Amino acid sequence: MTATTMDTAVRTAEEPWGARPKRVTAGRVGLYAFLIISAIFFLIPVYVMVITSLKAMPEVLSSNILSLPQHPTVQPWIDAWLHACTGGDCSGLHPGFFNSVKITVPAVIVSIGISSLTGYALSFWNYRGAGFFFGLLVFGAFVPYQVVIYPIILGLRTVHLFSTLGGIIVVHTIFGMPVLVLLFRNFYAGLPIELFKASRVDGSNFWQTFFYIMLPMSVPITVVALILQVTGIWNDFLFGVIFAGRPNWPMTVQLQNIVHTTQGVPSYDINMAATIEAAAVPLIIYFVSGRWFVRGIAAGAVKG
Amino acid sequence: MAQVSVRDLDISFGALKVLQKLNVTADDGEFLVLLGPSGCGKSTLLNAIAGLLDINGGQIFIGGKNVTWEEPKDRGIGMVFQSYALYPQMSVEKNLSFGLQVAGVKRDEIAARVARASEILQIQPLLKRKPANLSGGQRQRVAIGRALVRDVDVFLFDEPLSNLDAKLRSDLRVEIKRLHQRLKNTMIYVTHDQIEAMTLADRIAIMRDGVIQQLADPHTIYNKPVNLFVAGFIGSPTMNFLDGKLSGSGFALGDTSVTLNGYEFSSSPAVETEAVLGVRPEHIFVGGDAEKMPFRVQSEIDLVEPMGSETVGWSKVGGQSIKFRTSSDIHLATGQKITLGFDPARGSVFDTASGKRL
């Protein structure tokens, strides 16, 4: 008889051995019940939106709000995109979509570019007043938007940017900066200072160090900034309606106009389709890059 | 010629004065080691020489040129950091050539210099890899290569081996020494490891609280430490310190007296001065070897630490604890009666009050 078989024979069921068994406790059950109920609670509106947008108007009015469409159709989606009316203009949501693109793309690029550069300067180039300047910027994150809207209108009007595409881009850049600079500064502060010293010994200047050394290392935090900014700017309504000017109104403003322009019965099917179309871009961005988002936030948390 | 000379250097961080009126010179081709415990200002001094730190007062000369206000790149230095500081997104080859590209060196010149550096450091097979795919030792070799391609006269090392494991550290230590013998550059090397300092240095500057305690060759530092701090910092196991009093030509130690015949006093201290006699554990002999020594004492072994290559024994002299190193071939047992002997002329006598060598 070998030692191994003897061990097996002697071991009793009660004796702890190997990995600890996982037991189902009341706490676990409660936790999962809560998670599942929360998930259903938040998913029901999405479900209603999707199925309503796939029904024709007569069916919307006659059927139960939760029942699946009997005769599925994508006509509401097409109508919302091309034919929905805002006031007298019946060209649908698509001009708003392209306006949103025209606002979001430059605003995201400009705000991230300026913020990463500012964060880099604040963390590595220890110039006079850097701490004060950074404190001022972070303070900006706590200023309520509504308070400064009117002063900004006056300022933009003075430089002839009010009600222009350039104006709305400037506004988004300014309001994005506090959080983005904080993000980038903390990320750079977490990088080893020796990298910066090595690049100085190698003779690279302020810009070369930024573009060749620091920027290529900032991919994770740039993805975080990208998601924050795309989502924030795309979903923005207030700044868009105030600063962009009527020809540049973004999708959100147009959506609001479509939903509120009614003759007779509200076109619930078209409204739902239009809402989903307007929300699609941030949703797609999140699903495509969510993995990067979590990774970037984690990198910031560990190193910052 | 690349002599590095620091004159009256003052550095403070806010109210904290890290370095005050510090003077040190590394001669052309010299390997100077700055050694000291953490927080002694050795890295601060090195960063100041590199130009990576703003100084508050004083001057820095490299190769006879006043570089006090120069940018790091214009000082003719290459620097190796503890954390390697390789650019993670660049291949090894790009890491080596980056500084040269920034400086606008011609392409074939860059290729030639990279080839030469990678040949010297034997990193040719690694050139296409990214730093993340290198081991610690390989990374540090690339970091040295980055200093090498710059074709500079002065190399600055900031604890380059501290992040490596013990075996790699001793391997790379030898390589750095070879590199110095081959290139004959001026090298300034910061470390807190006394073995690195002793093995590599032409001269060691031992620092404490921003002040250079002793600047001398390793032999002098080891055998004639100028004060108690240096004596205690260098050597492992550490030097024995026996408290006593000077009495005529001897040293009164509890109930015994050690005659200091042959000891070279650097000053003539007053009789009855409170003093400390420092004796290195490796200068104390047991048994038959002890009989030949000028000073002998009967004692008993308290504790034995076998280390394989050698054995450290603990005993008492004049009521004070003393440790000694012997060959591991000599059998020692706790409680064993032994004769200990040493030559006081090889020891060091320090003033108890000032800690200075007498």
On chain A, the residues whose CB falls within 8 A of the CB of B89 are: 216-217
Name the nearest CA neighbour of A85 among A75, A95, A100. A95
Q: What is the pTM of this model?
A: 0.82
Cα distances (Å, whole numbers) of residue B6 to A132, B31, B61, B202, B356: 34, 15, 6, 18, 25
Examine the pLDDT at A302 and tell me if it is beyond 50: no
Q: B309-316: list long-range contacts, CB under 8 Å, 24+ apart.
A: B312/B237, B312/B281, B313/B286, B313/B338, B315/B340
Tell me how far apart the alpha carbons of residues B38 and B249 are, in angstroms, rounded to a whole number.
39
* Nearest CB to A194 within list B85, B88, B98: B85
For chain B, give percent helix, strand, coil, nearest 5: 30, 35, 35
Instruction: Give residue B1's pLDDT.
Output: 60
On chain B, the residues whose CB falls within 8 A of the CB of A124 are: none
Measure in Å the smallest separation between the Cα of B276 and chain A Cα atoms. 43
Per the prediction, chain A carries an average pLDDT of 87
* Residues B4-232, CATH architecture: 3-Layer(aba) Sandwich (3.40)
Which residue, chain included where needed, has tokens 């003052």? B10
Contact A202 B50 (CB under 8 A): no
Sheet with B303-306, side-by-side order of all strands: B303-306, B310-317, B320-327
Which residue, chain included where needed, has tokens 């090894």? B92
Residue A66 is given by DSSP the state T
On chain A, the residues whose CB falls within 8 A of the CB of B50 are: 197, 201
Tell me how far apart the alpha carbons of residues B31 and B156 are, in angstroms, rounded to a whole number.
10
Contact (Cβ atoms closer than 8 angstroms) between residue B90 and residue B133: no
Residue of chain B minimizing CA distance to A204: B102
Whether a cis peptide bond, with omega within 30° of 0, leads into A266 is no
Strands B154-158 and B186-191: parallel
Tell me how far apart the alpha carbons of residues B94 and A176 are, in angstroms, rounded to a whole number.
35
Predicted confidence (pLDDT) per residue in A182-203, tens digit: 999 999 998 889 999 999 999 9
Please give the full DSSP string across A102-133, using - where no structure is assigned.
HHHHHHHHHHHHHHHHHHHHHHH---TTHHHH
* Residues B183-187, mean pLDDT to the nearest whole number: 93
Instruction: Give residue B198's pLDDT.
Output: 95
Name the nearest CA neighbour of B349 among B286, B263, B288. B263
Measure in Å the smallest separation between the Cα of A172 and chain B Cα atoms. 31
Tell me how far apart the alpha carbons of residues A70 and A89 are, in angstroms, rounded to a whole number.
32
Residue of chain B minimizing CA distance to A191: B85
Pick the CATH number of B233-351 from 3.40.710.10, 3.40.50.12500, 3.40.50.970, 2.40.50.140: 2.40.50.140
- Cβ burial, residue A198 (10 Å; 0-12/13-18/19+): buried
Residues 179-238 of chain A whose Cβ lies under 8 A from any Cβ of chain B: 192, 194-195, 197-204, 208, 212-213, 216-217
Give the 3-state DSSP-derived string for A192-218, with helices as H, strands as E and coil as C. CHHHHHHHHHCCCCHHHHHHHHHHHHC
Predicted confidence (pLDDT) per residue in B73-108, tens digit: 999 999 999 988 999 989 999 999 999 999 999 999
Low-confidence winner among B40-49, B138-147, B284-293 (lowest mean pLDDT)? B284-293
Instruction: Give residue A8's pLDDT.
Output: 55
On chain A, the residues whose CB falls within 8 A of the CB of B84 are: 194
Instruction: Give residue A2's pLDDT.
Output: 47
Q: B43-48: list long-range contacts, CB under 8 Å, 24+ apart.
A: B43/B158, B43/B159, B43/B190, B44/B11, B44/B18, B44/B19, B44/B210, B45/B6, B45/B9, B45/B11, B45/B19, B45/B190, B45/B207, B46/B156, B46/B158, B46/B188, B46/B190, B47/A197, B47/B158, B48/B6, B48/B9, B48/B11, B48/B19
What is the sign of the dihedral through the CA atoms of B40, B44, B48 and B54?
negative
Examine the pLDDT at A149 and tell me if it is beyond 70: yes
Contact B71 A200 (CB under 8 A): yes
Number of CB atoms found within 10 A of residue B356's CB = 13
The tokens for A45 are 């509106």
**Residue to substitute from B102, B113, B144, interface A, most A β-carbons within 10 A:** B102
Contact B72 A203 (CB under 8 A): yes
Question: How many beta-carbon contacts under 8 Å exist across A and B?
Answer: 60
Mark residue B357 as left, alpha or beta (left: phi above 0; alpha: psi -120 to 50; beta: remaining): beta
Tell me how far apart the alpha carbons of residues A161 and B299 are, in angstroms, rounded to a whole number.
94
Interchain contact A131–B (C-beta under 8 A): no
Angle, vertex CA A121, rays to CA A117 and CA A122, nearest 5: 115
* Nearest CB to B83 within list A194, A208, A217: A194
The tokens for A282 are 């941030």
Residue of chain B minimizing CA distance to A217: B89
On chain A, the residues whose CB falls within 8 A of the CB of B103 are: 203
Instruction: Give residue A301's pLDDT.
Output: 45
Q: What is the dihedral of CA B246, B251, B257, B261, to 10 degrees?
A: -120
On chain B, the residues whose CB falls within 8 A of the CB of A191 are: none
Contact A201 B79 (CB under 8 A): yes
Contact (Cβ atoms closer than 8 angstroms) between residue B79 and residue A197: yes
Tell me how far apart the alpha carbons of residues B57 and A243 are, in angstroms, rounded to a whole number.
54
Contact A197 B47 (CB under 8 A): yes
* Nearest CB to B85 within list A192, A204, A216: A192
Name the nearest CA neighbour of A176 among A224, A140, A122, A131. A140
* Residues A69-84, mean pLDDT to the nearest whole number: 89
* Nearest CB to A201 within list B72, B84, B87: B72
Element (H, E) at A284: helix A268-303
Residue of chain B minimizing CA distance to A218: B89
**Which residues does B343 contact at the CB level (< 8 Å), separation at least 6?**
B262, B283, B293, B294, B295
The tokens for A19 are 């990995």
Residue B238 is given by DSSP the state P
Contact A203 B73 (CB under 8 A): yes
The tokens for A287 are 């699903």
Contact B102 A197 (CB under 8 A): no
Tell me how far apart the alpha carbons of residues A45 and A119 are, in angstroms, rounded to a whole number.
40
Residue of chain A minimizing CA distance to B104: A203
Tell me how far apart the alpha carbons of residues B185 and B2 are, in angstroms, rounded to a whole number.
8
* Portion of chain B with pLDDT greater than 70, in percent: 100
Instruction: Give residue B253's pLDDT.
Output: 85
Residue A89 is given by DSSP the state B
**Which residues does B87 contact at the CB level (< 8 Å), separation at least 6?**
A195, A198, A199, A212, A213, B94, B95, B98, B131
* Residues B44-69, mean pLDDT to the nearest whole number: 94
Predicted confidence (pLDDT) per residue in A198-221, tens digit: 999 999 999 999 999 999 999 888
Contact (Cβ atoms closer than 8 angstroms) between residue B304 and residue B332: yes
Name the nearest CA neighbour of B63 among B26, B93, B34, B31. B26
B25: β partners: B5
Q: Determine the angle formed by the axes of helices A75-82 and A268-303, rounding to 10 degrees.
A: 80
Tell me how far apart the alpha carbons of residues B86 and B72 are, in angstroms, rounded to a whole number.
17
Domains and CATH numbers, chain A: 25-73 (no CATH), 94-303 (1.10.3720.10)
The domain limits of chain B are 4-232, 233-351
Name the nearest CA neighbour of B301 among B270, B326, B264, B280. B326
Contact A197 B71 (CB under 8 A): no
Predicted confidence (pLDDT) per residue in B292-329, tens digit: 899 999 999 999 999 988 999 999 998 899 999 999 88
On chain B, the residues whose CB falls within 8 A of the CB of A201 are: 50, 52, 72-73, 77-79, 99
Contact B52 A201 (CB under 8 A): yes
Residue of chain A minimizing CA distance to B72: A201
Quick one: pLDDT band at residue B258, thresholds 50, 70, 90? Answer: confident
Residue B184 is given by DSSP the state -
Measure in Å the smallest separation between the Cα of B157 and chain A Cα atoms. 12
Backbone angles phi, psi at B287, to 5 degrees: 60, -135
Which residue, chain included where needed, has tokens 């309504």? A237
Examine the pLDDT at A257 and tell me if it is beyond 50: yes
